[in-house]
Amino acid sequence: MSPSHRVVIAVFPDVDLLDVTGPAEVFALANRESGGRAGYEVRLAAPDAGPVRTAAGVRLVADLAFGEVGAAVDTLLVPGAVRPGPDGPVARVDEDVVEWVRATAPHARRIASVCVGAHLLAAAGLLDGRRATTHWSTAAQLAAEHPRVRVDADPIFVRSGRVWTGAGISACMDLALALVAEDHGEELALAVARQLVMYLRRQGGQSQFSVPLSRPAAARRDIDELRLFITEHLDGELSAAVLAERMCLSERHFARVFRQETGTSPAAYVEAARVEAARRLLESTDEPLERVAAATGMGSVETLHRAFRKQLDITPASYRRRFRTAS
């Protein structure tokens, strides 16, 4: 059977190796598990055909130069690359790659970025007005450089129309599984996931709670330990008084120390963590709102509604309709 899904993956110097090979393996297994009926043909495209050195030091061989790709692209997959920065990894944006992505995207049925590849899509203008994700460590960079992109650092992947964005590192395979499920149904995607010894859908996002991930580590270890405690006990009593007692500090002194270390108040931090937990339940389960509110420490549906309106400007029910990912 001739290929019906031509997947073109962009490669360039210092690209992250797994961002390329992970999705390619998923599509190859989809072909195998379907007896060839899945119809995926994966091609690597680079500024010039031939060897390309990845960030891992392993060389890939590009099948095509960018100029040879043409318009016959079903799925355009864009991985990323990073360089060291003073405060952590910084996404690299190669203008030649951006120009090629911008020119090729209109001819593709769908476009997907892997990890920090979202920065390339954003630079090409493909994420303007869209919700998108990337590796949590460069999410702040993406939001700062592209204010028209609605950056969400927690999901494993996000779909916005024909544009998909995936989170960091191994999440490239979760994204590829989702693309297989879209093309051929979840039965085939599940068969591939089994061969990879993966869950078809992971529970949670890039972390169990992205509130701790999105903030730098505190100078005080006890504050970091408290943040972890909060994420593990969202359905418990987490008032400032209770947290201050746990820290063996007066409530006033605790509030001052917590703000100094995290940049926010204890109450705001707890509410943000609870909203994120509720978001994931709404995205991945059919639990009624009463159970979502109870499981995340909101207490009541009314409190859940208020928190969602305040932080996301949307109701929980509307959020579930828009971002529900599980069947």
Which of these is catalytic: 46, 105, 114, 115? 115
Separation CA 327–CA 317 (nearest Å): 16
The two three-digit tokens of residue 308, written as one number: 């969602």
- Whether 115 is catalytic is yes
Residue 108 host element (H or E): strand 108-113
Taking every pair of C-alpha atoms in the chain, what is the biggest distance, in angstroms?
Answer: 72
The two three-digit tokens of residue 147, written as one number: 């204010």
Residues constituting the chain: 327
Separation CA 195–CA 217 (nearest Å): 37
Q: Which stretches of 34-170 are DSSP H helices?
A: 95-104, 118-123, 139-145
Separation CA 296–CA 231 (nearest Å): 10
Strands 40-46, 5-10: pairing kind: parallel
Q: Taking the chain, what is the end-to-end CA distance rounded to the nearest angstrom?
A: 30
Would you say 238 and 232 are in contact if contact means Cβ atoms under 8 Å apart?
A: no
Amino acid code (one letter) for 206: Q
Catalytic residues: 115
